[in-house]
Amino acid sequence: MPNPSRPRAAALTTSAVLMAALLAGCGGGSGHGDLTKQKLQWKDCPAPSEAEGGGPSPSPLPGGAKWSCATMLAPLDWAKPKGDTIGIALIRAKADGPAKDRIGSLVFNFGGPGGSGVTTLPAFGEDYAALRTRYDLVSFDPRGVGRSAPVLCESDSQLDTFFQQDATPENTAEQKQLIARTEKFNDACEQRSKKILPHVRTTDAARDMDLMRQVLGDAKLHYFGISYGTELGGVYAHLFPKHVGRAVFDAVVDPTQTPEQGALSQARGFQLALDNFAEDCTSKVEDCPLGDTADDVKNRIAKLLKDLEKKPIPGIYPRQLTQTAATNGIAQSLYSKDFWEYLTEGLEQAYDGDGRVLMLLSDSMNGRSENGEYSNITPANIAINCSDEKPRYTPAYIQSKLPDFRGASPVFGDYLAWGMAGCTDWAVPGAADHPDVHAPGSAPILVVGNTGDPATPYEGARAMVDALGKGVAVELTYKGQGHGAYDSKNKCVQKAVNDYLLTGRTPKPNTVCT
């Protein structure tokens, strides 16, 4: 499963809008001037493209402020800055405080990799109202994502099949099927997106952000990175330490881990979140509808998944809820404690032979809209990860590691272990074992870790602090549940983050919010 950004609204889009996005994303050409001098043409935002997830144009903020969109030209290949260009889609809501108090732009990346910032920022814009008093709120579709030269692979119907496949093979024949299906997907990516595939590394996106800083007119990059956005922010700080302004990393990726270590860490993280869900359900005054004890709840979930491998149940017609889709749906519901009630409902229904709720949750994870169209979050996620990550794992190697993964999580272990096969035959070589985020000389970076985070476990925050280097990071701990801390609405976390971004005052090192 990817490290997704927030759940996205799913709705209709049109092929004409998607075609316009593709033309804008891959047009460009050579012979341009200094891209740092370009003037952005801010206009009313169009409806999101299919690759961005579809839906209506973003609604105005409370008070009537409108969102504006623009396209920034960036080099297709940063090694050839005078060569072909691509368009990077941006969105902005201007600061609403006194002009004299404006600090600059605050650039958001909500993670994935592969999440569309152009659609996500408006969906959560109200959450950042306090920050808009002194900043223009800005986000973007990173290269390969949404409107920014999107990576495209298989058709919607083919993706339905891709997401229904058996992702936890139990014998050689099933392993061969999984690898063949993965190769088919990867081949489609190379055929449809050959031009952009070599140029979607995190280092490329970080260079885009520095160009964005200059085009927006800011001397420093003020930044709010969430999930994978913390890795992108760390790489930016490594490449441009003197350009870092006020920066916050929330839901922190461990930059020191290999893909295998990261997958194993996620297995532990999702299992911890499932443990917490089961404890919460059985500790309430009313009876837990899923079991009498936490172990009972987890055992029934494990049995459900095993049963679904042999015999799927009806999901959203005509699709059935497979073991893979159910595992994906359960994982999606663990990203926020607010989703636990949907997990309870989905499991209750699944025990009665109805897989619709779990399939809806799985569709949300995969970027599938109600009309069957997919955003490009999965193709982009795979393309960026496989371009970044040097290791390539064979089926035999994964098989040898299954005991470790099963020990970390009897529910998610096999699923995450076999997910490591996704890059094995990827067309573009991976860059490194893990990203380099060492950033001596950077301005302070506030690093926020959540003890109950399933996707980016809490230990990653301390690893990021150490990797950034002495004197760079200030760590803040939130003892809570879900992926990320700021949007949990915890007042202690929000005050610490807002104080830093608005005044430059960092909290005391190792502050703990509960």
Residue 430 has which token pair? 């991976």
Contact 124, 95 (CB under 8 A): no
CB neighbourhood size of 172 (10 A): 10
pLDDT of 3 > 90? The answer is no
| Contacts of 135 by beta carbon, 8 Å cutoff, 6+ apart | 95, 102, 103, 104, 105, 106, 222, 501
The secondary structure element, H or E, covering residue 87 is strand 85-93
Nearest 5°: phi and psi at 284?
Answer: -80, 165
E-strand ranges in 284-371 read 313-314, 320-321
| Contacts of 187 by beta carbon, 8 Å cutoff, 6+ apart | none
The pLDDT tens digits of the residues spanning 375-412 come to: 999 999 999 999 999 999 999 999 999 999 999 999 99
Half-sphere exposure of 472 (CA within 13 A, CB side): 27
pLDDT of 13 > 80? The answer is no
pLDDT of 497 > 60? The answer is yes
In degrees, to the nearest 5, what angle opens at C-alpha 390 toward C-alphas 389 and 393? 95
Give the residue from 23, 15, 222, 217 showing the smallest Cα distance to 106.
222
**If you average pLDDT over residues 464-477, what whole number do you get?**
98
Q: Which burial class, exposed, middle or buried, applies to 490 when counting CB atoms under 10 A from its CB (0-12, 13-18, 19+)?
A: middle
pLDDT at 514: 97
The single-letter DSSP state of residue 143 is T
The pLDDT tens digits of the residues spanning 148-199 come to: 999 999 999 999 999 999 999 999 999 999 999 999 999 999 999 999 999 9
Nearest 5°: phi and psi at 266?
Answer: -65, -35
Q: What is the chain's mean pLDDT, rounded?
A: 93
More confidently predicted of 513 and 23: 513
pLDDT at 23: 31
The pLDDT tens digits of the residues spanning 225-271 come to: 999 999 999 999 999 999 999 999 999 999 999 999 999 999 999 99
E-strand ranges in 331-467 read 445-452
**If you average pLDDT over residues 311-322, what whole number do you get?**
97
pLDDT of 14 > 80? The answer is no
Query: In 117-221, where does DSSP find H-type helix?
Result: 117-123, 156-164, 172-193, 202-215
What amino acid positions are annotated as catalytic residues? 227, 453, 483
The pLDDT tens digits of the residues spanning 343-373 come to: 999 999 999 999 999 999 999 999 999 999 9
pLDDT of 422 > 50? The answer is yes
**If you average pLDDT over residues 463-467, what whole number do you get?**
98
pLDDT of 304 > 80? The answer is yes
CB neighbourhood size of 400 (10 A): 11
**495 band by pLDDT with thresholds 50, 70 and 90:** very high
pLDDT at 509: 87
Distance (Å, whole) CA 366 – CA 342: 17
pLDDT at 21: 32
Cis peptide before 318 (omega within 30 of 0): yes
pLDDT at 284: 85
pLDDT of 285 > 80? The answer is no
pLDDT at 32: 61
pTM for the structure as a whole: 0.93
Give the residue from 107, 132, 130 showing the smallest Cα distance to 120.
107
In degrees, to the nearest 5, what angle opens at C-alpha 36 toward C-alphas 32 and 37? 75
Kindly state the percentage of the chain with pLDDT values over 70: 94
Nearest 5°: phi and psi at 137?
Answer: -85, 125
Distance (Å, whole) CA 43 – CA 314: 45
Secondary structure (DSSP) of 191-210: HHHTTTGGG--HHHHHHHHH
Give the residue from 249, 265, 138, 266 showing the smallest Cα distance to 484.
249
pLDDT of 302 > 90? The answer is yes
pLDDT of 17 > 70? The answer is no
